[in-house]
Amino acid sequence: MDYFSIQANTIIKGLNRRNMAGYYVENKQEALKKVLELIDKEQSIGMGGSETIKEIGLVDILRNDGYNFIDRERGQTHEQRADLMRQCLVSDIFLMSTNAITLDGQLVNIDGNSNRVAALCFGPHQVIIVVGKNKVVADVESAIKRIRTMACVPNAQRLSLKTPCALTGKCSECLEGTMCAQEVITRYSREKDRIKVILVGEGLGY
């Protein structure tokens, strides 16, 4: 048993105490299999922006294997993409990763458009979160620090944003054009097991 499987067990106990379900898998292939076990083709499926979900190979399956997938990338204009993102807020299932997860089972996210954290908080019947071991932190304070230094910068660069962090690699607490509009800490789910977290024994995403 390696150190992360032991950590994962601790995190899952924390998630359970917070009314969320937790699962541990060793790699991204097992993560993909687990997600597919939790969904079916008849359910509407939305997704937040997530490199992790892409990395496990799930997006290609949703697009090509007959799933009822609300694919915001089909939007040709900003307005069309925004409308598809709104549809995701009332989907049966919402897929995402989390920017960080604490050892006691709290989810910490920073979001720009805020569609991802909005769906996490309310709307879809189920939220399935895939988390690589690189996103595990000790506590909420460490989570915020991790996100601002290790997630926001590469994401800003990936999206070709002109935020200070994209240009300097350092958080400047910017406001105009910021991708850090909302900071959301999920410490409890009012609806038992609505939020399902799959912990992966590999590094995934930012």
CATH topology for 3-104+113-136+190-200 is Rossmann fold (3.40.50)
Q: Where are the domains of the chain?
A: 3-104+113-136+190-200
Q: What's the token pair of residue 100?
A: 């960080």
From CA 175, how far away is CA 29, in angstroms rounded?
A: 39
* Backbone φ, ψ for residue 191 (5° rounding): -105, 115
Mean pLDDT for 32-44 is 97
Q: What is the pLDDT of residues 144-198, one digit of tens each?
A: 999 988 888 888 887 788 888 888 888 888 888 788 889 999 999 999 999 999 9
| 191 close to 123: Cβ distance less than 8 angstroms | no
The strand pair at 126-132 and 44-47 is best described as unpaired
Residue 6 has pLDDT above 90, yes or no: yes
Q: What's the mean per-residue pLDDT of the chain?
A: 94
Fill in the amino acid letter for 112.
G
pTM (2 d.p.): 0.94
